[in-house]
Each structure stands twice: as structure tokens, then as C-alpha cells.
Structure 1
Amino acid sequence: MKYKVIYADPPWIQKAGRKMSGYKIVDGKEIWNSEHSKPEDLPYDTMTVDEICKMPVKELICKDSVLFMWVTNKYLLQAEKVIKAWGFEYVACITWRKNRMGGGLGGVVRISSEYLLFCRRGNLKAVGNIPESVIDAKRPYVNGYPCHSKKPEVFREIIEQCFPYEEKLELFARHETKGWDVFGNEVENSIEINH
């Protein structure tokens, strides 16, 4: 099957920040307490930019298709390499403004945003309401704690509304979603990708 819509959250190599235990409210904001100042490793396997580029996504997409790809601040300038390797061209960016916890990643700047890059191949038209370029959304929680790297469902809903096609694939999926084929190391894959 060839896909018209690709939704990807690549496992970029970076640190997860400091280990947290508990939280407190300061001036109406949720502030997490750090157990120590050394950044932790991510709780999942990561890939280099070159490894991500080598995935045969070009072989999986229709002539007219779109890509929505998550990128962290650290890899914002390198994301274009992946976009081109996968056969797309960058069009626009949606910024997810997160609710801040603690100091944030980055050291000098408190990073409380991630970017969902919208890319296109050919001329697949969007329908319905076009989203704003900045979206405030709370981090998804599991058992009362923020789930690292999990994205709010509002972004998937925007994609489904703008591009209501059946041929949808989520790369690096964390769970199965009705109406989507999935590929990742945390789900039972609907498709096989050799890379």
C-alpha cells in the first residue's frame, strides 16, 4: 500500500532531562523537583539523523502525499535532511507550546516547545479548518506523570480533519490508532519496513 498521509515522531538522539520526583505549584505553575542535575538517557532507543534518513519512506508514499514530522529544538535545522531524503518539501511549521515543567531542556534557554513540520509531495489538498501555527496543549500524562515524548492527540485530530484519507501511516508509533497503519518498536506493526 502507498500512503497519502505520514505522521512521524522520529527518535532523535538527545537526553531526557533530569530525573524528577514529585511536584509543587509555584505562582500557579506546576514545577517539578529534580533529584539530581545530571540529564537522564531517554527511555527508548534512538536513531541518528542519517539512520532516520535511510528509512525507505519514499517507497511508501503516493505521488501526492503529506508528511507531518515532529522535531525537537536541537534538530530543527537538521530536519530538512530527513524531509528531503523521504521525498518531501518543507511547507510550514506548527509550534506546540507545552505547559512548562521545571527548568526545561537546553541549559541556557528553557525549552517548552516542539515543532510539527508540515511537508508536501505533489499536490494533496487540505480540507476543513486550517489550524493555527501555535497550539497550546498540555503534555499527556500516564499514572499522574508526564509521558516522555508522547504528543497530545489534538495534533492527530488536526491531521485527520485536514487530510481525511484512508491511506494513513504513523511512523515510530507508540500505540495503535483506529484508521492508521502503524510502525514502531512499541507497537505490533501493521506494515514491514526494511531498513
Structure 2
Amino acid sequence: MTHTGLAIVNPAAELGLVGYDQLCRALAVAATVDEVAKIQDKSKAMQAYAKQARNRGLEADASEVRMRAERKLGEMMDSFRQAGHMSKGGRRPQAETGVSGTLVGWGVSLAEIGINKNLAKAARKASGLDDIAFAQALVNNRERILFRDDRPVFSTAKKQALRADRERVLAGRIKALPKKRYGVIYADPEWRFEPYSRSSGMDRSADNHYPTSCVEAIVARDVPSIAAEDCVLFLWSTAPMLLQALKVMAAWGFAYKSHIIWDKQRPGTGYWARNQHELLLIGTRGHMPAPAPGEQPASILSVPRGEHSAKPAEVRKLIERMFPNVPKVELNRRGSPIPGWDAWGNEFDLASESHKLEDSA
């Protein structure tokens, strides 16, 4: 088998469709295994160069030529083998040579025509596909290249370390702001739930335990003024007040992301169902980092209920594990101060007016 002296553009010298078109034309007229193998080699080199140059279009084109060359090579190898022109491998005894120097009675091996085992395997695989399957393989390969995620792949431990670094950097940036801002806002609004009848349905209302506010008053609070550019909101909601809570979250400038269910372990009141749970909605603004893989909390927290409206201390600890460094504030705080937290609430005596969130209602 002879070389044709085919000149194929060097992908490093000329990056673009000229090289791709030339490879396609060369493959269309290639008549020998040697020629097709050279085209496969050139297209593979172009594919590697295009990937390095981050030209996905050219990379996909070069990869398609490579696959077509491998299929054509496999078909040629099959026809040669069936005609007895290819050896079946193994050691060949000394053979008689003809006047032209070619072997008499023996076919040539893949190694003798410059085809290694990997190329031969790829060629056999490609030629084993029917036309429909091969066309689909071309489409799948192009989509894989064009929509490939080139972001570096890190281990879970590495992702956790990177996320921890990001949280520390974010904390430093928030603390450096000239006015007090928070990266975590934890809120338990005093929702006013309207019963079907205020004359008969107020016996177990929250108004019997603490003052409540209408949704409009909660929406109007200037929470955005204390939220850092990158901030996460943890917002408590009961099942009947879910739509109102989502309205408040949006009005405060946060986008809903997920929620955690607090299973109180015993049922309470309710019209359609006796509510045994409350929802802790999670929303963000800016680019607040989610927990690293393996560090996300479970979506259900099962803790016995305490006194009316009191929330489990486990939730605050959960938030602290997520965001150990960023400044945190608890709205509607009940009870004594918590180290590491600022607070505002009807039942919390502020030590400093500078941390007070005025109710604009």
C-alpha cells in the first residue's frame, strides 16, 4: 500500500473551517487504508488543538471527521479481511517473496500498515454500527462537546474546603461595610391568621399569646436595608400562611430556594388538616453560597414542640454550621441574647438602638 503524499492543513497553523473542509474532501476521495488512517490522525490532532484553543465548534467538526474516518477504515479492513488480504495475527513463518517484493500467499498485518490496536478497535466499533445508529452517535458526540461542562472536578472534601473559604471571604466583606449589614437574616414574623369567624375562632389564636401583624405591615419592614448584597433569609411560615410568607420573602428582595420542614411530633389545630409541622423557607439575594456537597441538612427536622410559637434551638445551630462567620441577625427574637447574633423583637430588649429594625406599620 502506497502513500499518496496528501497534504492536510496543520490545525496549529490554520484554525477554522478551511482545515475542516479539506479533511472532509480528503476523506471522501481516500482510497487506501493508509490514506484514511492519516486523515484520522490529522483530525484527532485538530480536535486536540481545538480543545486547547477552546473552540468547541471546530472541536466538534474535527471529532466528526475522526469518527467518519474510523468508520471508513473499519469498513475497508472488513472488506480486505474477507478478501484474504489481511493476516489474522500471530507469528508468520518465513514466506516466499515475488519479483515485486510483496509477500506471496500471506496478507499484511495491521502493524505493517501503521494501524495500532486502539485505532483498530475504534474502527471496528464504528463500522459495526448501522447507518441510523452511527448518525445518532455523531449527534450525541457533537452535543457532548458543545455542551460539555469544563469546570474542574473536585472531590467532596475539596468542594467543602472551597465553600468554607468562600463563606469566610464573604463574612469579611460584609463586616467591612460602613453600615451594619447581615449575611444571614433569621425571621419568625408574628403572622396574623384570620379564622372563618373572629367571634368563635379566636380561642386558640396567636393573638391570645402575643401581638400579631397583618401581612402588609410585615412586608413594609425595611429588611432590605439591613441585608448585605449577598444574603440568605430563613423565614418561618405556618402551612396556612405559606402564600403570604412567599409574598413577604419577595418583598424583602429574596428569591425562594428551598425549605425545611419542622415536624413537631404531635398535631395541632387546622381546618383541613391538623398541622403537625411548620415550614422554614430559604431564600437568597446576590450570590450566597449553598452548603457544600455532603454538608446540606436534611429537609425534615423532627423535634418536639415547646411553648407557643417557640422555635427549636436546633435550627439556629443548623444555620450557624452553614454560616459560621457571616454576621447574623434574628428578627422577632424571644428570650435572652444569643452569642454571635444580633436581634430584634417584641420580646427582646435591645442593648443598642443601632441594631433596631423599625416597624414601619
Q: Does TM, normalized by the shorter one, top 0.5?
A: yes
- Asked if 1:116 corresponds to 2:286, the answer is no
Aligned to 1:46: 212
CA distance in 1, matches of 2:202, 2:248: 30
CA distance in 2, matches of 1:8, 1:134: 19
How far the C-alpha of 1:99 sits from its partner, in A, is: 1.4
User: Sequence identity, in percent?
Assistant: 40
Q: TM-score, normalised by structure 2?
A: 0.44
**1:127–1:161 Cα contact (<8 Å) kept:** no
**2:262–2:300 Cα contact (<8 Å) kept:** yes
Aligned to 1:163: 323
- Asked if 1:179 corresponds to 2:345, the answer is no
Q: Looking at CA atoms only, which structure, 1 or 2, has the larger radius of gyration?
A: 2
Q: Name the SS of the counterpart of 1:14 in structure 2.
A: coil
Segments of structure 1 that go 5 or more residues without pairing to the other structure are: 17-36, 141-146
**2:265–2:304 Cα contact (<8 Å) kept:** yes
Indicate the structure whose relative CO is greater, using CA pairs within 8 Å and at least 6 residues apart.
1
Aligned to 2:13: none
CA distance in 2, matches of 1:88, 1:138: 30
CA distance in 2, matches of 1:48, 1:158: 29
Work out which of the residue numbers 50, 56, 74 in structure 1 matches 2:240.
74
Aligned to 1:29: none
Aligned to 1:56: 222
Aligned to 2:189: 10
Aligned to 2:101: none
Q: TM-score, normalised by structure 1?
A: 0.80
**1:65–1:120 Cα contact (<8 Å) kept:** yes
Letter aligned with residue 161 of structure 1: R
Q: Name the SS of the counterpart of 2:311 in structure 1.
A: coil
Structure whose residues are more often helix by fraction? 2
| Count of aligned residue pairs for this structure pair | 167
Q: Which 4+ stretches in 1 moved above 3 angstroms?
A: none
Q: Name the SS of the counterpart of 2:230 in structure 1.
A: strand
**1:3–1:65 Cα contact (<8 Å) kept:** yes
**1:168–1:180 Cα contact (<8 Å) kept:** yes
Work out which of the residue numbers 74, 77, 96 in structure 1 matches 2:262.
96
How far the C-alpha of 1:107 sits from its partner, in A, is: 2.8
CA distance in 2, matches of 1:60, 1:161: 22
CA shift in 2, pair 1:126/1:165, >3 Å: farther
**1:125–1:163 Cα contact (<8 Å) kept:** no
Q: What whole-Å deviation, never above 9, does each CA across 1:119-152 have from its counterpart, x for those lacking one?
A: 0001121446211111111113xxxxxx000011
CA distance in 2, matches of 1:186, 1:172: 7
Work out which of the residue numbers 149, 152, 160 in structure 1 matches 2:312.
152
Letter aligned with residue 181 of structure 1: D
Q: What whole-Å deviation, never above 9, does each CA across 1:92-122 have from its counterpart, x for those lacking one?
A: 0100111115xx2113311100000010001
How far the C-alpha of 1:38 sits from its partner, in A, is: 6.8
CA distance in 2, matches of 1:160, 1:94: 15
